[in-house]
Amino acid sequence: MATVRMLVEDSSQTAGARREARKLAVDLGFGEVAAERVAIVVTEAATNLIKHGGGGVIYLQPTIGSPPLLEVLALDRGPGFTDFNASRRDGHSTSGTPGNGLGSIERNSNFSDVYSVPGRGTVLLARFSDNGHNRNGNLHDQPADVAGLQSNKPGEDVCGDAWAFWKGRGRQVVIVADGLGHGPEANVAARAAVEFLDDNTGATPKELLEIVHRGIRHTRGAAVAVAELDEEQRTIVFAGLGNIAGRICESDSSSRHLVSLNGTAGMESRTMFREFRYPWPEDATLIMHSDGLTSRWELNEYPGLLRRDAGVICGVLLREFSRGNDDATVVAVK
């Protein structure tokens, strides 16, 4: 199920956002009560975007795992919060309204997180499951260590990028693909590439990249990168072909770029497939993204971001560094 992106610029769009959120929740198998909680939160998020952020964007998407969770991300470039803890309290308002928005979002979601920098805007995340009411002490109520966010090229109905994740036996594997061009054919190529992960979880990044290269020859081809995170050895092994960027971020001001070779998976290439090994420091975050994001981003103006939920990290990166004229995908693994 694809990510749904909704522009929210005036109050007339709030009802449409609510309907779309409820529909997606029902499509995911949520019951009536859970679907209504999703609808309430999206209504509050849309209202906040208009009143406090000058408008913005809401993303709705299922998360990885089974059964899937539903994730809501609301992004704006407004003034941000000067006192977030005060804003969470019911009755607190800076616009003359009852001031129940953030409190309602926390009560109705299984997990929520907000990141705001004064003068640079706010990213709000809410995550839902269909397992009863929120905050019941299971994994659904915890911050996510892995998340991704996608946005279609303007005017396209589907995204030409794709990503997938697998975890087991002390290893985590991430694959990101960017199909050549845009639209349905690029989407087919990218999705075909990442689907090889399911049947090849034991392959090294280099081996998986070679499998993808052979397996998507019937498509127009794709830029592809694979990262393996070894929890025992504390290493990241990376193999890339084309313009999928990888970066290991240790702090707001310290990061390391990963090497990806020139070429296109699925097309004739003289490039020799190679993989590169890097240390995986404690508390570091791996970021991978397609070229829909500029590669020259830095996090020194976003203090504490790497300590937030992986979904919030993706939201900030997409909002701040998307080129705006291309498919864009960003994945964060903490």
Tell me how many domains the chain contains: 2
Last residue of some domain: 86, 108, 142?
A: 142
CATH code for the domain in which residue 248 is found = 3.60.40.10
Same domain (yes/no): 176, 221: yes
Q: Which two tokens stand for residue 198?
A: 């399911």
Spatial contact of 263 and 244, defined as CB atoms under 8 Å apart: no
Burial code (b: 16+ CB inside 10 Å, e: under 16) for 67-87 equals ebbbbbbbbbbbbbbeeeeeb
Same domain (yes/no): 218, 272: yes
Same domain (yes/no): 95, 75: yes
Q: Residue 64: its pLDDT value, please?
A: 79
Note down the domain range covering 264.
147-333
- Count of other CB atoms within 10 angstroms of residue 207: 15
Q: Which two tokens stand for residue 282?
A: 């404690």
Same domain (yes/no): 164, 298: yes
Number of residues assigned to the chain: 334
Q: How far is CA 53 from the centre of its chain?
A: 21
Q: Residue 329: its pLDDT value, please?
A: 98
Same domain (yes/no): 39, 116: yes
Q: How far apart are CA 20 and CA 30, in angstroms?
A: 14
Last residue of some domain: 95, 118, 142?
A: 142
Q: What is the pLDDT of residues 188-209, one digit of tens each?
A: 999 999 999 999 999 999 999 9
pLDDT at 107 over 90: yes
Same domain (yes/no): 175, 303: yes
What 3-state class would DSSP assign to 230? strand
Burial code (b: 16+ CB inside 10 Å, e: under 16) for 131-166 equals beebeeeeebbebbebbbbbbbbeeeebbbbbbbbe
Q: What is the pLDDT of residues 164-182, one digit of tens each?
A: 999 999 999 999 999 999 9
Q: Which two tokens stand for residue 36?
A: 């209504």
User: If you average pLDDT over residues 111-125, what whole number do you get?
Assistant: 95
pLDDT at 21 over 80: yes
Q: What is the pLDDT of residues 296-332, one digit of tens each?
A: 999 999 999 999 999 999 999 999 999 999 999 999 9
CATH code for the domain in which residue 80 is found = 3.30.565.10
Nearest to 189 by CA among 204, 178, 201: 178
Same domain (yes/no): 134, 173: no
Spatial contact of 245 and 206, defined as CB atoms under 8 Å apart: no
